[in-house]
Amino acid sequence: MVSGNLFLCRKNSWPPEEYIGRTTLQLFDFDSAAPPKQAWRRRLNSHANFLKEFSVTFMEAIKMVRLGIRMWSYVREEASYGRKAPIDPFTRESCRPSASQGVPLGGMGSGSISRGFRGEFRQWQIIPGLCEASPVMANQFSIFITREGGNKKFASVLGPGQHEGLGSRKKAADQGISSWGWNLSGQHSTYHALFPRAWTIYDGEPDPELKVSCRQISPFIPHNYRESSLPAAVFVYTLVNTGKERAKVSLLFTWANSIGGISHLSGEHVNEPFVAEDGVSGVLLHHKTAKGIPPVTFAIAACETQNVSVSVLPCFGLSEGRCGTAKDMWGKMAQAGQFDRENFNSGPSIPSSPGETLCAAVSASAWVEPHGKCTVAFSLAWSSAKVKFLKGNTFPRRYTKFYGTSDRAALDLAHDALTNYKRWEEEIEKWQSPILQDERLPEWYKFTLFNELYFLVAGGTVWIDSSLVASHMRNEQHQVTKLENGDVKVTKAEVYCREGAVVGHKTTNAYDSTNSEGAKDNNEKTGTRNSHKDEAEVPLAKGHSNCNLQSLTMRDPQNDDDDVGRFLYLEGVEYIMWCTYDVHFYASFALLELFPKIELNIQREFAKAVLSEDGRKVKFLAEGNWGIRKARGAVPHDLGTHDPWHEMNAYNIHDTSKWKDLNPKFVLQVYRDFAATGDMAFGVDVWPAVRAAMEYMEQFDKDDDGLIENDGFPDQTYDTWTVHGVSAYCGGLWLAALQAAAAMALQLDDRDFAERCKSIFLKAKPTFEAKLWNGSYFNYDCGSSSNSKSIQADQLAGQWYTASSGLSSLFDDFKVRSALQKIYDFNVMKVRGGRMGAVNGMHPNGKVDETCMQSREIWTGVTYGVAATMILAGMEEQAFATAEGIFIAGWSEEGFGYWFQTPEAWTIDGHFRSLMYMRPLSIWSMQYALSMPKAILDAPSINIMDRIHVSAINGKPSQAESGVRKIAKKARCFGNSVLHCSC
């Protein structure tokens, strides 16, 4: 736990007074209009430099040439089926990545749109797995100001005119957006970010006597599983008139009927004005998608009040056409400051023609008295009720549980956002304030901690409503999963479950997920919110595979609030695989802290997967050999790409059933979550999978010393970094997993298995230390290669989880602290003076390990994890200095420009690999270490391993599961858990 004011000398604080005049801040000191002191900041006229992507060295390219050829062939094959390969290093986005990102919009899992710090809407991820990075520049806020008497007029887009997305400069004959007033220099305008909110302050631009604050709010609210799923955002403008003349201010919100890229040109799009309750009115933009992708409807709206008048222009184009042009629209606003009221009665527009861009506008006008204040609120919402994956399965999104599947749900979402945003803010501030007000913590850490959460919105997240799945599966005949590969080691334990199922040695139930394409909203015509679920046909599981996962929604039939749906998030926008598990190991701390029910459900998904097998043949690209997609007992690398839950292990570079870190990581995460939540039903649900995962690993102990050995290829998350024999990373994870499994077995009264794990642990630990401990740290591996004695930053990953779970330390304090100090002195401080994070590999002579590209990289998420381990070991100063390197290189003004797109890795010369990546969410493991869950803090301090008595003859655990069955009867059980226990 952080003590005193240890970090006052390393605040790295950016006081708002350095960006905004103190007087302006005082004027906005009401209604949350002023940005908080703890926020990330950037001036709008800051240069958004292009980012430098990594490249392999000549020697690395030589080593990977065969892999490259096979991957090229695979990428082309997938493209021939109209699919994008999960990893495609050959295709580059048309929009070069730049340092232009900002806080994304909306909640989790219903598609996302990011908004750059200069105001542009970009990074469109409405369609699962597809990211359109280019900004749609017609989507803007603009302002029109007329001073009483008409002597002063100002009109400008509220974004700087020098922008890579704008194209050519203004031409007299141009009818498009370059004809607008791009008059903002951005010199006196600043952006302030504290996810899920952002503030843009216009300090006298474009009118020197008008101060403007735009506050962006999205419903990301921890432990709120309803509103955090809503695809909506609010923009609250606070206007302060410092002049002596009354001012008429008109704010304009323009939006193109587009889902990014060139989708606006496909035709058949329709815009429609609407008037809703509580003064909310605006325009619906119905977007007809191509290739059978479910349609999308946007709603842009404003709230009319006693002082604010709202008008709309349902349709305008970017060139001459059937409706007015962007130039005409701008001219109307510059002249009148509003549109005709008759536009509300115009009805749906004529569908757009191919090649034609259809846009809409909402204007909100108000008079602001001299030295007066005014608030104007806009909302943006989008409704894409169904998620369709490329191989055919369709699911209803989570928000449809509350709003139904009608395209007019966008109207209700826009309305509710405008009427509820103040409550959202109250809940967000209540969540954030304790951390923001903690004077012991560095300022940079506070806003980086919250801003790294951007990935839970912009990381391609998909959140589906599973009540449809559950209701149908109760009436479906269950299919039985058959074990296809008799050589795979699995648990022999059997737990007898409801409906005669047996989970364990030979059989388990497997259900297919729903195909809800036929779903109908009962209130399509009225657009009213509907909490009842639509009905759909549920197909039987596919005959050629037995790996399809049942819906693990954990819903208590007596409490509908327990059904939190099913959640997916990408490894990264470049690595399109859902819930990549070796990376989730690092990122999962954020979900456990903020949305623990989602975290437990993800673990249940993987628990079911452990007990399943997919015998379909797959070609592994690294060696060109063939194997089965998923072995029983092995934890899958991911839940799939184009058919998640049905076709796992989209990753096909290596056979991940032979990886040595996935199974221990599963056991460690399960036990951490079990210990942190105290959820006994969860423990009972996943226990058979924990046993199966542990027993599967025994095949990798070749010499019966209790330790697993790596097999001389990159068989872990560092998938280009070869390991030989016993390794610090995988061996340490295995030791920790033995301890966690033993502890969990004891708490579930499975004493035979607890004894088994302890006996292996007692044999393995001294062997591990004898083979790897060199007096100051653990060697990379016990082999004889040139990097076997390298200092790996991640060598104490097992110790990290042991400490995070309230278990006794794997090693004595001296060894833990010595290894961490070595990492700090070498991997951190010998790389640019500690200003870049921890390099993965470092030779003991102080030179970076350049064995492969990953050994020489700095992994952002690993660095945060190392810092968390340091905190748990009482090395707070080194911890925050280590993590600060990621802030300096990634988030600070002197850094590379990776804000809101933190990559997986960067090199010492500042080249990135894989922007917008899952692993940096592990910064929340630092916060977890600073404020351990009460369930762990209150646990008995006695070493749980000391409570396990190892019998003189300890063979394989017996098949009896009386202890687990007994606990299952007492635990709170859910209708669709992995184990249908009879309670």
Q: Is the pLDDT of residue 558 over 70?
A: no
CB 191 within 8 A of CB 118: yes
This prediction has a pTM of: 0.90
| pLDDT at residue 30, rounded to an integer | 81
Pairing relation of β-strands 509-510 and 479-480?
A: antiparallel
Pairing of strands 724-725, 626-630: unpaired
User: Does the pLDDT value for residue 960 go beyond 70?
Assistant: no
Specify the pLDDT at position 938. 78
Q: 23 CB contacts (<8 Å, ≥6 apart)?
A: none
619, pLDDT greater than 90: yes
Confidence at 924, pLDDT banded by 50, 70, 90: very high
| 540: exposed, middle or buried (Cβ count in 10 Å: 0-12, 13-18, 19+) | exposed
Phi-psi region for residue 278, left (φ > 0), alpha (ψ -120 to 50) or beta?
left
pLDDT at 105: 98
Which one has a higher pLDDT value, 145 or 393? 145
| Banded pLDDT at 213 (limits 50, 70, 90) | very high
CA separation, residue 416 to residues 190, 422, 521, 644, 738 (Å): 29, 11, 19, 32, 49
Of 711-715, 777-781, 924-928, 936-940, the one with minimum mean pLDDT is: 936-940
Sorted by sequence, the CB contacts under 8 Å of residue 821 that are 6+ apart come out as 875, 878
**Res 508: pLDDT:** 34
**Share above pLDDT 90 across residues of the chain, in percent, rounded to a whole number:** 75
Please choose, from the candidates 70, 343, 398, the residue with its C-alpha nearest in 3D space to the C-alpha of residue 225: 398
% of the chain exceeding 70 in pLDDT: 84
Does residue 626 carry a pLDDT above 50?
yes
pLDDT band at 167 (very low <50, low <70, confident <90, very high): low
| pLDDT score, position 971 | 53
- Please state the φ and ψ torsions of residue 10, each to the nearest 5 degrees: -125, 45
- Position 979 scores a pLDDT of 29
Q: How many CB atoms lie within 10 A of CB 610?
A: 28
Q: How many residues does the chain have?
A: 983
Question: Each residue of 53-102: pLDDT tens digit?
Answer: 988 999 899 989 999 999 999 999 999 999 999 999 998 877 899 999 99
Which tens digit of pLDDT belongs to each residue from 23-43? 999 999 888 899 999 999 999
Tokens of 920: 């940096």
Centre a 10 Å sphere on the Cβ of residue 981 and count the other Cβ atoms it contains: 22
Q: Element (H or E) spanning 592, and its range? A: helix 581-594
Q: How far apart are CA 581 and CA 583, in angstroms?
A: 5
Mean pLDDT along residues 145-166: 82
Q: What is the pLDDT of residue 540?
A: 26
Which pLDDT tens digit goes with each residue over 640-668?
Answer: 999 999 999 999 999 999 999 999 999 99
Q: What is the mean pLDDT of residues 165-169?
A: 54
Q: What's the pLDDT at 513?
A: 34
Which residues, 6 or more positions from 157, have their beta carbon under 8 angstroms from its beta carbon?
A: 140, 141, 142, 180, 181, 182, 183, 184
- What pLDDT score does 980 carry? 30
- How far, in Å, CA of 525 to CA of 71, rounded? 49
Q: Taking Cα atoms as reference points, which of 266, 295, 263, 297 lies closest to residue 282?
A: 297
In three-state secondary structure terms, 743 is helix
What was the pLDDT predicted at 402? Answer: 96
Other residues' Cβ atoms within 10 Å of the Cβ of residue 55: 11
pLDDT at 15 over 90: no
Backbone angles phi, psi at 638, to 5 degrees: -155, 170
Which DSSP category does 177 fall into? G
pLDDT score at 174: 81
- The DSSP secondary-structure symbol of 805 reads T
Characterize the bridge pairing of strands 189-194 and 197-203. antiparallel
Least confident residue range of 12-16, 108-112, 129-133, 219-223? 12-16
The pLDDT value given to residue 166: 60
Tokens describing residue 536: 């759909």
Angle value at C-alpha 972, between 971 and 975, nearest 5 degrees:
125
Q: Is the pLDDT of residue 962 over 80?
A: no
Q: Mean pLDDT of all residues in the chain? A: 86
- The DSSP symbol for 440 reads T
* Largest separation between any pair of C-alpha atoms in the chain: 98
* Beta-bridge mates of residue 613: 546
> What is the per-residue pLDDT for 939?
72
